[in-house]
Amino acid sequence: MTAIILSGRTMSAELKIELREDVQRYVQRYGQAPGLVVVCVEGDPASGVYSKAILKLSDTLGVQARLELLPAETTSEELRTALVRLNEDAAVHGIIVQMPLPAHLSQEVVANTISPAKDIDGISPLSAGKLCLGQPGFQPSTAAAVMEMLERSQTPLDGQHVVVLGRSNVVGKPLALLLLQKHATVTVCHSHTHDLPSITRQADVLVAAVGRARMVTAEMVRPGATVIDVGTNAVPEGGIVGDIDFASVEKVAGAATPTPGGVGPLTNVLLLKQCIRAAWQQAAQ
């Protein structure tokens, strides 16, 4: 068997067309574009690259986005004050703060300060609580991207056994909750899990969000299973590989995502999708 390739690039292109149309409808109705601010505290070189990618995508979709660059020595109180100002700015509908923050700043300050109405990456305790209770709200964008990919590929979830590798607050845990909402039977594995292959081989759908290059090999995959790779790992020989050993897994899986070109291209698009939804919600109040 050779797996069907689930292309995040193709799905992302489809979704971008839909979102552009949604933004046009919003502008026609309210006379202004949805507004997004990316807050970046200087210090992490990768954050600048990620911020630019979000701004470029926003521009493509017609979302009014800007970067708020804060100096590396920004104090906790100054960060809080900046976020409160953005919370109160009616032209700003979504706020994202690039992680990681410098060591002297805690993610908790950000999570507890961003208005839940503008928390488009689902990091606030209220967003997490709503997700846990199955109420509508904003979700961490990578978990949302995996769900979008499963939906667009019409992967059955109801009654299916989904094994999630990884239990982080940004991917594994929220994803498990979203899968439960779709009536999947969910097993979450982590670094203390014994005999991983015996569990992964039971999966109808296997999602890897671990951060270990090519750790999931063909022997760990049930023939015909759908395999989604969230991992992005830089390798010494250059380039990025996933948590899935794609070359061997594609020979046994029914469907699989490549890396790069899988979940990655969808993640920022889902962030923008949630920003546009935030704008509609705020305008309706």
Question: In the complex, what is the shortest distance from the CB of residue 123 to ligand NAP, in angstroms, rounded to a whole number?
Answer: 12
Question: In the complex, what is the shortest distance from the CB of residue 104 to ligand NAP, in angstroms, rounded to a whole number?
Answer: 21
Based on CB atoms, which residue is closest to ligand NAP, 86 or 203? 203
Based on CB atoms, which residue is closest to ligand NAP, 87 or 232? 232
Copy the structure tokens of residue 37: 């601010």
Question: In the complex, what is the shortest distance from the CB of residue 211 to ligand NAP, in angstroms, rounded to a whole number?
Answer: 3
Based on CB atoms, which residue is closest to ligand NAP, 172 or 254? 172
3-state secondary structure of 235: coil
Q: HEC states along 164-223?
A: EECCCCCCHHHHHHHHHHCCCEEEEECCCCCCHHHHHCCCCEEEECCCCCCCECHHHCCC
Based on CB atoms, which residue is closest to ligand NAP, 217 or 232? 232
- Residue (of 155, 157, 166) closest to 189 by Cα position: 166
Question: In the complex, what is the shortest distance from the CB of residue 207 to ligand NAP, in angstroms, rounded to a whole number?
Answer: 10
Based on CB atoms, which residue is closest to ligand NAP, 258 or 264? 264
Site residues (vs ligand NAP, CB under 6 A): 142, 165-168, 170-172, 189-193, 196, 209-212, 230-233, 263-264, 267
- Contact call for residues 83 and 95 (beta carbons, < 8 A): yes
3-state secondary structure of 16: helix
- Contact call for residues 38 and 67 (beta carbons, < 8 A): yes
What letter would DSSP give residue 236? T
Based on CB atoms, which residue is closest to ligand NAP, 174 or 254? 174
CA distance 205 to 185: 10
